[in-house]
């Protein structure tokens, strides 16, 4: 096992200078996002097909799909010492369930970390070498069919999502003349959350008034991830209050605009920095405004108006200018009712697709469990038992240690 090196970030570049550098975000990819133009050692070089493990976050193992590259810190490379004793393909198949188990029992406040010692101490199966080959063939056959089904389901979910956007676009195209989000807001109704030193993680409490954060804002959906502050602190920040029926917009934008309606039963709440609250005029249907903010047309508006490098921000002024069709309350209600009905059908279809993907994940685990418990392929009682194989491995290690010690003693003389 070789750990990646701590390369100096000031020598990273996007111009292709030097060597491609595989960072933890590149595990499972075919191309590294950055290059490194500086000194390195031979041990830091990886090649196509090498087994890599990301040691932060999800603890993923993957074959490197790119060409020659350098390995950055928090990623390790695994190589089988003796391919005659252990299959590289079998090692790849067997490790992920063990890493998943380690991930499940690893506690963390922020990002989970995996140590080299934990990887080295994993008690992986040791079937006879010929059985390893049979297991790999069976696993790849089953998982290939499963991967085909998963890809088909994922494409169906994507098409459902696209169809939902097209339905919203068509409804809003017929809604009325162009206006802005500000024209639907109550006086002083558009405001952002507290900035500066306000609302640090140390201010959160186990219960109390809610904090609406970026993590709560989906594309049209409110995501119920709970964060609380004390009642006293809520009173201090009341000017940033969000109530049921308000629209909240994510000021930080990656690709699509994210906005949703604050649930009516949320209770006392304030919006955090990078969230913008929109309180609507009396009589405005918040569902209509939400759907107007979900149009694909706004992708161009976002691309033209975001500012900043890395953390692209739409900003309060631009949120006020977001185009929203101008329609009277009756038209708003009819359009929102129609969209609710149509999108509910699509949501049901998407839910079935999501459930199929969850079952596929469980089935993948079941296939691997069957393989490593001896249920997937027939076993040959005439094959070399694991005890003999382990004894051979110990003998080889002892011989290698004796050779290194002899060379070291000869060099010292």
In the sheet where 259-261 sits, what is the strand order?
185-192, 275-280, 247-250, 259-261
In the sheet where 51-54 sits, what is the strand order?
2-3, 75-78, 51-54, 61-63
Report the alpha-carbon distance of residue 214 to residue 271 in Å, rounded.
9
The helix/strand/coil state of 401 is helix
Instruction: Assign 3-class secondary structure to 187-202.
Output: EEEEEECCCCCCCCHH
Binned at pLDDT 50, 70 and 90, residue 311 comes out as low
Residues of 321-340 as b/e, b for ≥16 C-beta within 10 angstroms? ebbbbebeeebbeebbeebe
Model confidence pLDDT, tens digit, residues 74-103: 999 999 988 888 999 999 988 988 898 898
Model confidence pLDDT, tens digit, residues 126-150: 888 889 999 999 999 999 999 999 9
Report residue 19: phi and psi, to 5°: -105, 150
Nearest to 224 by CA among 278, 261, 275, 177: 261
Residue 197 has what pLDDT?
47
Model confidence pLDDT, tens digit, residues 164-177: 999 999 999 888 78
Report the alpha-carbon distance of residue 151 to residue 196 in Å, rounded.
45
Minimum mean pLDDT among 41-45, 125-129, 200-204, 228-232: which range? 200-204
| pLDDT top residue among 338 and 252 | 338
Residue 410: which H helix or E strand, with range?
Answer: helix 386-412
Q: Please check whether residue 271 is in contact with residue 248, taking contact to mean a CB–CB distance below 8 angstroms.
A: yes
Minimum mean pLDDT among 114-128, 260-274, 379-393: which range? 379-393
* Tokens found for residue 108: 């963390």
pTM: 0.71
Beta-strand relationship, 2-3 and 75-78: antiparallel
């Amino acid at each position: 096992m070789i750990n990646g090196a701590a390369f100096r970030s000031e020598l990273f570049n996007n111009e292709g200078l030097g060597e491609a550098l595989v960072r933890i975000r590149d595990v499972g990819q075919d191309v590294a996002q950055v290059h490194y133009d500086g000194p390195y050692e031979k041990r830091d070089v990886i090649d196509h097909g090498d087994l890599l493990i990301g040691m932060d976050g999800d603890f993923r193992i993957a074959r490197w799909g790119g060409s020659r590259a350098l390995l950055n810190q928090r990623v390790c490379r695994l190589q089988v010492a003796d391919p005659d004793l252990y299959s590289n393909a079998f090692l790849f198949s067997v490790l992920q369930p063990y890493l998943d188990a380690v991930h499940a029992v690893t506690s963390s406040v922020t990002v989970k970390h995996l140590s080299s010692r934990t990887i080295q101490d994993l008690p992986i199966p040791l079937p006879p070498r010929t059985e390893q080959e049979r297991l790999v063939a069976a696993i790849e056959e089953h998982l290939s069919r499963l991967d085909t089904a998963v890809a088909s389901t994922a494409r169906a979910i994507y098409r459902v999502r696209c169809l939902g956007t097209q339905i919203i676009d068509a409804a809003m195209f017929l809604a009325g003349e162009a206006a802005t989000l500000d024209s639907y807001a109550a006086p002083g109704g558009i405001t952002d959350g507290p900035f500066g030193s306000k609302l640090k993680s140390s201010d959160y409490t186990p219960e109390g008034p809610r904090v609406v954060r970026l993590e709560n804002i989906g594309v049209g959906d409110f995501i119920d991830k709970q964060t609380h502050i004390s009642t006293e602190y809520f009173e201090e920040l009341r000017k940033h209050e969000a109530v049921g029926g308000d629209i909240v917009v994510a000021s930080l934008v990656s690709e699509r605009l994210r906005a949703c309606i604050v649930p009516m039963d949320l209770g006392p709440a304030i919006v955090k920095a990078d969230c913008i609250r929109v309180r609507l005029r009396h009589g405005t249907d918040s569902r209509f405004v939400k759907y107007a903010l979900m149009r694909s047309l706004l992708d161009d508006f976002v691309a033209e108006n975001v500012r900043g490098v890395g953390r692209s921000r739409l900003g309060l002024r631009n949120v006020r200018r977001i185009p929203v069709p101008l329609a009277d309350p009756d038209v708003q209600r009819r359009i929102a009712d129609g969209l609710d009905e149509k999108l509910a059908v699509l949501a049901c279809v998407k839910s079935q697709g999501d459930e199929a993907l969850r079952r596929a994940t469980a089935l993948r685990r079941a296939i691997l469990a069957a393989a490593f418990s001896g249920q997937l392929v027939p076993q040959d009682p005439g094959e070399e038992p694991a005890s003999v194989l382990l004894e051979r491995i110990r003998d080889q290690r002892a011989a290698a240690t004796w050779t290194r010690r002899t060379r070291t003693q000869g060099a010292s003389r």
